[in-house]
Amino acid sequence: MPGQYYLSRDETIVAVLGSGVAVCIRDRAQGLGGVTHVLEPETTQGMGSSLALPALRTLLEALQAAGAQRDQLEAKLFGGACPRGETDAIGARSLAVARAFLREAGVPIVAEDVGGSYPRKIDYCPADGRVRIKRLRDLRNATIAERDLSFLGQSADGLPTPRYCQPSRQG
């Protein structure tokens, strides 16, 4: 879910992405890494008003608290699609915020698979940095887009919907 993160050394982390962006950061020497899912829903005026920044900061702080060394970090970015052909570029804004955050934090982006019109499923292995990507071209329902819109406080028909938080599930 957007705004949540997960850390691991030996587990594969799975994320399904529509317009959201998975930011995968790992310490390549220790094989410790994590993923956060970010959405930047509206045009912001500078990095200070970003909704994605708290998730990115929390992931970086959690990695460092678990022993990751800043000079060993690398990042990979996935997602940021426009799965319904929307003209409002939520994915592009989310990518821009993630890239700017990583640049300011001094974390190099070593790979990315972003944009386009298809949702993605990723399997990320922090131990060695491998990622398996599946583009969900034959998606027959709007579950991913509806989840993104729900997080953003909108419905598919543009009407406001209640915002809610779900507890993080690990394991």
pLDDT tens-digit readout, 138-162: 555 455 555 555 544 543 444 333 3
The three-point CA angle 136-138-142 to 5° equals 80
pLDDT recorded at residue 31: 95
Percent of the chain at pLDDT exceeding 70: 69
- In the sheet where 32-38 sits, what is the strand order? 5-8, 32-38, 21-27, 73-79, 109-114
Delimit the domains of the chain by residue range. Answer: 5-141
Residues 5, 58 contacting (CB under 8 angstroms): yes
- In the sheet where 13-17 sits, what is the strand order? 13-17, 120-125, 130-135
pLDDT recorded at residue 88: 59
Beta strands in the chain, from DSSP E residues, in sequence order: 5-8, 13-17, 21-27, 32-38, 73-79, 109-114, 120-125, 130-135
pLDDT tens-digit readout, 50-64: 678 888 999 999 999
C-alpha 142/C-alpha 146 separation (Å) is 6
Whole-structure pTM value:
0.76
pLDDT tens-digit readout, 99-130: 999 999 999 999 999 988 888 999 999 999 99
C-alpha 110/C-alpha 40 separation (Å) is 22
- The topology under which CATH files domain 5-141 is 60s Ribosomal Protein L30; Chain: A; (3.30.1330)
